[in-house]
Amino acid sequence: MVVWYVRWVAEERRPEKEATGSTGRCSEKEINQMKEVDKSWLAALIDGEGCLQIDRQYRVNMYSYFPCISVSMTDRQMLDKAQMVTGFGKVKVCNRTTKTGKVIYRLVIRGKNTGEVLNQIQSYLLIKNKQAQLLLSMCHLIQIRKRKNSGDLQCARETLFVNNKRLNQREELI
């Protein structure tokens, strides 16, 4: 992974606006053309430094759920590269620092963009493959949302939320 990153810095480094366009997003056609090396690199980054989670917010007498990919680290260039490769997300400065005073940056990809990215890299994920499957299931349930928001769907979303939380805490699924 380090050799690939060094090669990228030396040869392929481009400004963010050139790579992602003025909107900061890739079209679906561009997402489908993600290079295999980029898919494996992104999966390794997420496996090592990332978090696959389902965020839950209380709205109008019920919970809303949002799949989310986040990666936090002190190396902004790595996160900028991940944003360039996916075409999604924002790199922000966290309001905390490391013990040695280094600034921590965070890339966050939310909503349907999460599903598009995970569909591309799931086969390369080793450690977080189960979380990826749960997030992809959540993305599917969110698409159903507009048709009908029944109690069964809400129960299924809550089950996915709880199972993802347990996986992230290295516990057994229910």
CATH 2.40.160.60 given to domain 2-168: no
pLDDT class for 172, splitting at 50, 70, 90? low
Q: For the chain, give every domain's residue range.
A: 2-168
Q: Are 83 and 107 a contacting pair, CB within 8 Å?
A: yes
% pLDDT > 90, the chain: 45
pTM, full prediction: 0.74
Residue 26 has pLDDT above 60, yes or no: no
Residue 3 has pLDDT above 70, yes or no: no
